[in-house]
Amino acid sequence: DVKVTQSSRYLVKRTGEKVFLECVQDMDHENMFWYRQDPGLGLRLIYFSYDVKMKEKGDIPEGYSVSREKKERFSLILESASTNQTSMYLCASLEAGSGQPQHFGDGTRLSIL
Amino acid sequence: QKEVEQNSGPLSVPEGAIASLNCTYSDRGSQSFFWYRQYSGKSPELIMSIYSNGDKEDGRFTAQLNKASQYVSLLIRDSQPSDSATYLCAVSEDSNYQLIWGAGTKLIIKP
């Protein structure tokens, strides 16, 4: 079974802080994704990575950056947290090859005060 | 703009009945189709994938795909209260690894 681990289930930070969300997968997957999920808006892609040190912007990258220094780890960074970044953040990984499903971590519910 | 559409619900179904969830997609190049279940406050979990026209059965779940009409559906037989969740439909082209997500249908199974 694929195991995707997100570092925190719940996190509370203050406006202006730099926030790091960590995600680790144990299946040697090439592709990793960061989404945020808000009520009524569904899953929105922030960034994804298809290889170490490679990253691509998703639909809503503004205010975020990512880092992928090792294949198993994909970090999401909120450079200067704002209240509108309060959300559920979901990390997913995907094996290379067509038709594979994404596998999710448990999610991080982030509150910015 | 590639889109995946689902009725947001809630869809209320009596326990023991068949729940039918539908999803339409806009991109004719789509090749892979997934149903995820998401309980409140939890992350999505994969329950079914389907790649070719027709039906695919797994226990109480049946996924149906019709590429000509661009829809995919999920049937849940003998619905249980534990099936109450939001069901997300996701579609991919395979030429890239991104999924296009529907907003989800909230299903409520009434005892």
Kindly report, residue by residue over B39-64, the tens digit of the pLDDT: 999 999 999 999 999 999 999 999 99
Provide the shortest C-alpha distance from residue B91 to chain A (in Å).
10
pLDDT in tens, A56-94: 999 999 999 999 999 999 999 999 999 999 999 999 999
How many angstroms separate the CA atoms of A6 and A37, rounded?
15
Q: Is A23 on the interface with B (CB under 8 A)?
A: no
Residue A111 has pLDDT above 90, yes or no: yes
* Better pLDDT: A1 or A13: A13
Pick from B3, B37, B8: nearest CA to B105 = B8
What does pLDDT average to over chain A?
93
Instruction: Give B95's pLDDT tier (boundaries 50, 70, 90).
Output: low
pLDDT of residue A73: 97
Residue A51 · residue A72 · CB < 8 Å:
no
Instruction: Write the residue in A42, A98, A103 that is nearest to B103 by C-beta.
Output: A42
Q: A-chain residues within 8 Å CB-CB of B41?
A: 109
